[in-house]
Amino acid sequence: MPPRPSLYDVLLAHIGGEPLDAYDDRTLECLSVQQNIRRILNTRAGAIKHLPDYGLSDLTNIYKALPASAQRLKNQMETTLLKYEPRVHSIDVEMIQNHDPGVLVSFEMTCHLRKSGLVRFGTHFEPPGRMRIDRR
């Protein structure tokens, strides 16, 4: 997983210590979409008053009912991302096996971007309600 950009990187137009011009436009768009997806899925619905459905609902109940609730989480992810990430034209989310003991459930998201085509992300939900994402 690429490191989260520091304020230093943002001010100097860098990603992971590399200048932005080291990446092509497609890669920059994929990295930007990845950051926005991370932000959306790590936000709890209701946290932003003027966008009450931005983010995912409280994951506590979903985690308690796993694996039966995985389909509900998958549907929430698809609906929320299609609404709040305009660069994603369509999305396919599939549950995947993960043998990491710190991960409760993992998905692979295949995002069809309007400009840059196809990109895949691994999405891993960890206690206490955090999510990490990596580009595949």
**Domain layout of the chain by residue ranges:** 7-135
Q: Which two tokens stand for residue 92?
A: 């396919």
Higher model confidence: residue 114 or residue 7? Answer: 114
Backbone angles phi, psi at 34, to 5 degrees: -60, -45
Architecture of the domain whose range is 7-135: Roll (3.10)
CB 125 within 8 A of CB 103: yes
Q: Which two tokens stand for residue 55?
A: 């983010």
Q: How far apart are CA 75 and CA 99, in angstroms?
A: 23
* pLDDT-based confidence at residue 2 (cuts at 50, 70, 90): very low
Predicted structure pTM score: 0.82
Q: How far apart are CA 24 and CA 29, in angstroms?
A: 9
